[in-house]
Amino acid sequence: MKKSVVFIILICMICVLAVGCAQGVSRKTAEEGPVEKKEDLIVVGFSQVGAESDWRKENSESMRSAFTRDKGYELIFEDAQQKQANQITAIRTFIQRGVDYIVLAPVAEDGWDTVLGEARDAGIPVIVVDRMVNVEDESLFTCWVGSDFRLESQKACRWLKVYLDKQHFKPGDVNIVDIQGTIGSSAQIGRTRGLRDAVIDNGWNLLDAVPGEFTQAKGREATARLLEKYDNINVVYCENDNEAFGALEAIEAAGRRPGRNIRAGDVMVISFDGVSSQALDNLRSGSISCIGECNPLHGPRVRKIIENIEKGETPDKYEYVDEDIFSGYEGITEISVDGKSYPVKIMGK
């Protein structure tokens, strides 16, 4: 009796598994449709960093909607969960599956020579998006699309400078802490460097710089610790919005008020990305003072590049996406960096 019960359960489990597999297969063949149609599809393998922030999710979504079947593409999406080893494995899988293009959003800049060499040997063009790769031979990747993180940071720091001058604030009284992104990523490197340069140029005090890994939890933790350690912080510079959300929580929990009225004891929060509605709401309410936009919509641009390569053209090696600077403060409408002026997008209430 007992024996047969166990046996039936076992058979059921195997059946479930078998049906599950069969469904997966039938769904696949159904989508593929007629054989000749499948031949036209351009197969793109995309190795994404993970899903750590709103920016990243928006970025993945942009890629997914740019490479759909009705546009003539098949997208193989691999989430690397923040690990370079996973990305290397994913690229090797793409090579073995014989994809037409590899799109790589690298988790870190170093350590790509070997695997990109393998992709080149297999004759597959590699398009790098978002963060850069640091390889000895630049021909290992076809082109790069992404943001100028240094410029984003320069713009935000410029905004801060103009604002502080307007308030007649002495540079020596400005005490900044830097909540850094994932160490070694291009966004972190560019945004940290931009701040460092501005601190030196303007004579501000940079009290501390700690990693916040681009997440809300780490941002809150780091800010809370810093607020305890230093009682004179008046600017928190977060290297993305999710860290800023964490920082806002920590500031409020510490009994301080986030805002731009530094003289009255507010803690000013500066941030980057500006993709989620939550970030823009915070801008309108004034709790985040300024956001350097980081455009996540890479999908259409990458598709354009692939279309051009298909036509036989050679794309530009480096392509920057256009980016704005957002603020809820109406007093500054324009800033200039390196002699070029950029309008500030004011988020009204």
- Nearer to another protein (CB atom), residue 33 or residue 98: 98
Return the residue of 38, 57, 69, 92 that touches another protein, per CB under 8 A.
92
In the complex, what is the shortest distance from the CB of residue 183 to another protein, in angstroms, rounded to a whole number? 4
Helices (H), 170-289: 186-202, 216-229, 241-253, 277-285
| Tokens, residue 119 | 């992709």
In the complex, what is the shortest distance from the CB of residue 35 to another protein, in angstroms, rounded to a whole number? 13
Stretch that binds another protein, among 119-127, 223-231, 238-246, 334-342 (CB under 8 A): 119-127
Residue count at the site for another protein (CB under 8 A)? 42
Contact status: 40 vs another protein (CB under 8 A): no
Q: Pairing state of beta strands 126-129 and 101-104?
A: parallel
In the complex, what is the shortest distance from the CB of residue 21 to another protein, in angstroms, rounded to a whole number? 7
Q: State the Cα–Cα distance between residues 288 and 286, nearest whole angstrom.
A: 5
Contact 305, 143 (CB under 8 A): yes
Helices (H), 98-174: 113-121, 149-166
Contact status: 19 vs another protein (CB under 8 A): no
- Interface positions, 194-233, toward another protein (CB under 8 A): 211
Contact status: 312 vs another protein (CB under 8 A): no
Stretch that binds another protein, among 74-82, 165-173, 215-223, 244-252 (CB under 8 A): 74-82
User: Among 48, 59, 61, which Cα is nearest to 104's?
Assistant: 48
- Classified as helix, coil or strand, 86 is helix
In the complex, what is the shortest distance from the CB of residue 180 to another protein, in angstroms, rounded to a whole number? 10
Contact 95, 122 (CB under 8 A): yes
Return the residue of 57, 58, 69, 76 that touches another protein, per CB under 8 A.
76
- Classified as helix, coil or strand, 71 is helix
List, as one string, the DSSP characters of 190-209.
Answer: HHHHHHHHHHHHHT-EEEEE
- Interface positions, 225-284, toward another protein (CB under 8 A): none
Contact 182, 209 (CB under 8 A): no
| Tokens, residue 11 | 């058979």
Return the residue of 32, 110, 316, 334 that touches another protein, per CB under 8 A.
110
Return the residue of 58, 93, 202, 345 that touches another protein, per CB under 8 A.
93
Q: State the Cα–Cα distance between residues 251 and 177, nearest whole angstrom.
A: 13
In the complex, what is the shortest distance from the CB of residue 234 to another protein, in angstroms, rounded to a whole number? 27
Return the residue of 38, 57, 69, 79 that touches another protein, per CB under 8 A.
79
Tokens 């159904």 belong to which residue? Answer: 30
Contact status: 33 vs another protein (CB under 8 A): no
Q: State the Cα–Cα distance between residues 282 and 66, nearest whole angstrom.
A: 30
Instruction: Provide the binding-site residues for another protein, judged by CB under 8 A.
Output: 3, 6-7, 9-10, 13-14, 17, 21, 24-25, 28, 50-51, 76-79, 81-85, 88-90, 92-93, 96-98, 108, 110-111, 114, 121-124, 183-184, 211
